[in-house]
Amino acid sequence: MTTTEIFEAAGLTAEETAAMPAYIEGEEDFYGTPAFDRLYEYFAFDTGEMPYGTAKARDGMPDEWILDRLEE
């Protein structure tokens, strides 16, 4: 799945999608944004792709996991 397809599946708005490159490059804070919330829901619950421990921030940070996943 391409990042564009992921953004669409997660329900990101056009503004949120446009902001994603700055989040991925570390130019803007991603955690706590509406885009983070939508992508967290998508990866943690809709697809189950995010490991449970990471989703609960026990063995990883969910925002970092999402951004790393989108860089693949």
Measure CA 6 to chain center: 9
pLDDT of residue 48 exceeding 90, the answer is yes
* pLDDT recorded at residue 72: 82
**Residues 69 and 43 sit within 8 Å (Cβ to Cβ):** yes
Alpha-carbon distance 3 to 9, whole Å? 10
Q: What is the 3-state secondary structure (H, E, C) of 1-49?
A: CCHHHHHHHHCCCHHHHHHHHHHHCCCCCCCCCHHHHHHHHHHHHHCCC
Residue 52: give the domain boundaries. Answer: 3-71
Residue 3: pLDDT band (50, 70, 90) is very high
pLDDT of residue 9 exceeding 90, the answer is yes
Question: How many structural domains does the chain have?
Answer: 1
Q: For the whole model, what pTM was predicted?
A: 0.96
Tell me what percent of the residues of the chain surpass a pLDDT of 90.
Answer: 99
Q: What is the largest CA-CA distance in the chain?
A: 32
